[in-house]
Chain A
Amino acid sequence: MTQSEREGMLGPYRVLDLTDEKGLICGKLFGDLGADVIKIERPGGDAARNIGPFWHDEPDPEKSLYWFALNANKRGITLDIETVDGREIFKKLVATADFVIESFKPGYLKKLKLDYRALEKINPGIIVVSITPFGQTGPYKNYKAPDIVGWAAGSGPFMRTFGDVDRPPFRISYHPQTYYHAGTEAVVGALVALYYRQMSGEGQHVDVSIQECMAFNTGWEWDLNKVDRKRGEGIIPVSVKHMWPCKDGWVMWRYTGGPMASRYSVPLIKWMEAEGMADDFMRNFDWANFSHYTTSQDIINHMEEQTIKFFMTHTKAEMMAGAIKYRIMLYPIATSKDIVESPQLAARNFWQEVNHPELNETITYPSMWAITSEAPPKISRRAPLIGEHNEEIYGKEMGLSADKLVLLKQAGVI
């Protein structure tokens, strides 16, 4: 294997990752693409290690599955950049790096004299990426945005649009989706900046706002026609089911007429007929004339009743297999279990074994979003333990002596 075959697409580049939950995915994606990502944690370890779920439900900073997922492909060191010694070490690292990613409050790094202006003096090619709730500028720049607040602040496409009107609008449960969006967008910005650097030699600062990432691509009706649809305010005069119960959960599907009927209604009725579960009315119905605007609610109710009876005889996995066989645009509402058992993901070699020697266990990870003909993205290492690479990076790579490391440890710097 040649060097270029062995390395990932971003093999030559080094990333210093100072982020908290708001930016963890950013460094992880860099690592997936082969960059040398160094997660810099505060001494004792990052707070994100305390977020569950945990390996076998043991709440321990070395056993967070959330941490495992978001920090694979990184090496890890501890460093207190609020100390003078810590800052000096950080600057030495910056001289060797291509990217710094951070998610501190705007102005925090400036106070430490570690903002872009200061770092570009050390390394003119450095690209500093900041991921914050509302960006680096503007009247809300110091506002907080835990996940649900990010959903609300940029809610146009999602939170404000959906949900039953008798309940509050909702976010997606569990881990902060808004941070995932911003961290992913941050990689986009960073790589555009890298491309520009290859031509100009100049680095720059990339400012990513969680609010803007969430608000992205919405508001057309308002902008063009000053219309803003309220929640629960349907465009069509009838109610048609979108979420359907089946034997072991839910599937998503919709009765559709006109040209799209060939993707939805027609093939489903064919399948129901093959299993003797479509009545004469369903079999003989003219789908070309079905419309959410002209077909009566009574007819729709009749169809839905028949359809639920049919769906209840099948599991999600059977529904998906049938959807493929009959070419119906129908998809199960998958649970994490369904995802793990997916035949599609198995065929795509989506699962990768990752060894955690300190747990005496190999854990199966979901791996990559892409299959590529060259330098494929992959998981090369599990998430770092606290300070796992202190000796490797401070000692072997930076040449700090063992005595110095002991001193820095005792002084609370590393």
Chain B
Amino acid sequence: MSKKPLEGIKVADFCWVWTGPTTTRVLSNFGATVIKIESSRRPDVWRIQPPFKDNVPGPNRGGVFNTQNTGKLSVTLNLAHPKGIELAKKLVAWADIVTDNFAGGSMARMGFGYEELKKINPTIIMLSSALMGQSGPWHDSPGYGDQLTAISGLTQISGYPDREPGEIGYYTDYIAPRFNAIMILAALEYRRRTGKGVYLDVAQHQASLEYVSPLILDYIVNKRIANRMGNKCEYAAPHGNYRCQGDDRWCAIAVFTDEEWESFCKVIGNPPWTKDPRFSTIQGRKDNEEELDKQVNEWTIQRTDQEVMSLMQAAGVGAALVSNAEDLMDKDPHLKYRKYYKELVHPEIGRLRAPRQPCVLSKTPDEITRAPLIGEHNEYVLKKILGISDDEIGDLVAQDVIV
């Protein structure tokens, strides 16, 4: 067993859905004790949304939930009951970190505002990761990652200019968790030095804008509004996804320098069209990109995506097949070599795989263990952590506090 870098860190985790659990997953995977405070009355969306193992619904059977909540403990509390709130506050007193990703203002409304929690635990670090943050006219506006992707300027630059904006899914749900984790870890370091707790109001919207900041500056300085341009890059050609053998199979190829262009031509056998002066300079290739892409497609369509990728990369040209889940999980020899997926055994759904944290620490790598069943750790949390007796627990269950 290697050392766990965050061992001893205690987290009272109110997060749910996507961004929040993906944030606290970082902490649990690196050894922190993360207690997920949930309830079967209002379960985490991903406990009740497909995909489920064997398409059989059940709160412990969801694929998303079981990969996003690895290594956490689950306690089910009724936060509509005063005693439920009392127990949750005891967990806050126990914790180093409290996390939530509700719409702005929700924690305060539930009685868990930072000022309130500070009275219970003066050095608590609290992360609230609302879509829009805790202040401003939109602060309590709820939403999902696809909607945040839209309002953050990323959908506008996805897809083709002659068509409606391109759907790109819950994209920002892959951005905000990283910023949340950075903020928590920085605050832990700050508290270690100064002894001070911190309130962290991370607006997922503002985190997402970090990924379009040069385009925002372009508007501010040059009044240019960025628009989607398919797969084009202003200073590279060929640059795109090219059709290969098979059903909807593609390979990305990107040629930037003269050297890469020569290598590319060599790989495809230096056909006569590559000698056409229209294609001999980057300016020419950009000016005649449509014709160029046609030629490239004619070569790629006769080959498999894997073959195109291997030939190009061997010659020093950037290329990769557009991988689907099967490619990533079962075929990609590189991810296999790097043990990117960790196989877990789950008592209800059996075997499943979860990706490791994509930052590999040489001395203290992450250790991924399965996600909790709903309420699995009620007894452990209530007895061992909060010191509540069996009799009292019986009462709490009877009073509808443990749900």
Query: How far apart are B89's CB and chain A's nearest CB, in angstroms?
Result: 20
Cβ-defined contact, A215 with B252, below 8 A: no
Q: How far is the CA of A263 from the CA of B143 in the complex (A)?
A: 10
Write out the residue numbers on chain A whose beta carbons fall within 8 Å of the beta carbon of B225.
335-337
Q: In this assembly, does A365 line the interface, its C-beta being within 8 Å of a C-beta of chain B? A: yes
Cβ-defined contact, B133 with A371, below 8 A: yes
Q: How far is the CA of A122 from the CA of B165 in the complex (A)?
A: 52
Contacts A336-B212, A336-B218 known; A372 to B199 CB distance under 8 Å?
yes
Q: In this assembly, does B120 line the interface, its C-beta being within 8 Å of a C-beta of chain A? A: no
Give the residue of B55, B137, B214, B359 whose beta carbon is less than 8 angstroms from that of A70: B214
Select from chain B the residue with minimum beta-carbon distance to A12.
Answer: B193
Cβ-defined contact, A144 with B182, below 8 A: no
Q: In this assembly, does B76 line the interface, its C-beta being within 8 Å of a C-beta of chain A? A: no
Q: How far is the CA of A317 from the CA of B164 in the complex (A)?
A: 19
Select from chain A the residue with minimum beta-carbon distance to B159.
Answer: A170
Cβ-defined contact, A334 with B160, below 8 A: no
Residue of B139, B210, B349 ringed by the most chain A CB atoms within 10 A: B210
Query: How far apart are B317's CB and chain A's nearest CB, in angstroms?
Result: 7
Query: How far apart are A254's CB and chain B's nearest CB, in angstroms?
Result: 9
B-facing residues in A326-361 (Cβ within 8 Å) = 329-340, 343-345, 347-348, 350
Contact mask A65-88 → B, CB, 8 Å, 1/0? Answer: 110111000000000000000000
Query: How far apart are A190's CB and chain B's nearest CB, in angstroms?
Result: 8
Cβ-defined contact, A198 with B189, below 8 A: yes
Cβ-defined contact, A329 with B228, below 8 A: no
Contact segment of A36-44, A206-214, A277-285, A399-407: A206-214
Cβ-defined contact, A334 with B231, below 8 A: no
Contact mask A167-188 → B, CB, 8 Å, 1/0? Answer: 1111111110100111011111
Cβ-defined contact, B334 with A191, below 8 A: no
Q: In this assembly, does A363 line the interface, its C-beta being within 8 Å of a C-beta of chain B? A: yes
Looking at chain B's contact residues, the main secondary structure is: mixed
Give the residue of A156, A366, A370 whose beta carbon is less than 8 angstroms from that of B202: A370
Cβ-defined contact, B137 with A344, below 8 A: yes
Give the residue of B156, B160, B211 whose beta carbon is less than 8 angstroms from that of A170: B160
Contact segment of B282-290, B361-369, B375-383, B395-403: B361-369
Cβ-defined contact, B214 with A175, below 8 A: yes
Write out the residue numbers on chain A whose beta carbons fall within 8 Å of the beta carbon of B135.
347-348, 371
Cβ-defined contact, B179 with A172, below 8 A: no
Write out the residue numbers on chain B whose beta carbons fall within 8 Å of the beta carbon of A243.
155, 164-165, 167
Give the residue of B63, B196, B222, B232 whose beta carbon is less than 8 angstroms from that of A220: B63
Select from chain A the residue with minimum beta-carbon distance to B30.
Answer: A192
Contact segment of B33-41, B77-85, B272-280, B321-329: B321-329
Q: In this assembly, does B201 line the interface, its C-beta being within 8 Å of a C-beta of chain A? A: yes
Cβ-defined contact, B175 with A225, below 8 A: no
Contacts A188-B182, A350-B206 known; A172 to B329 CB distance under 8 Å?
no
Select from chain B the residue with minimum beta-carbon distance to A350.
Answer: B206
Write out the residue numbers on chain A whose beta carbons fall within 8 Å of the beta carbon of B155.
243, 250, 252, 333
Q: In this assembly, does A224 line the interface, its C-beta being within 8 Å of a C-beta of chain B? A: yes
Give the residue of B147, B316, B325, B364 whose beta carbon is less than 8 angstroms from that of A192: B364
Q: How far is the CA of A4 from the CA of B187 in the complex (A)?
A: 13
Give the residue of A116, A158, A215, A375 whose beta carbon is less than 8 angstroms from that of B168: A158
Q: How far is the CA of A4 from the CA of B192 in the complex (A)?
A: 12
Residue of A148, A163, A173, A187 ringed by the most chain B CB atoms within 10 A: A173
Cβ-defined contact, B174 with A206, below 8 A: no
20 sample A-B contacts, Cβ–Cβ < 8 Å, listed by A number: A9-B189, A9-B198, A65-B217, A148-B231, A157-B169, A159-B322, A168-B242, A172-B157, A173-B157, A173-B229, A181-B175, A192-B185, A195-B6, A225-B54, A230-B247, A331-B151, A333-B155, A340-B220, A343-B136, A375-B198
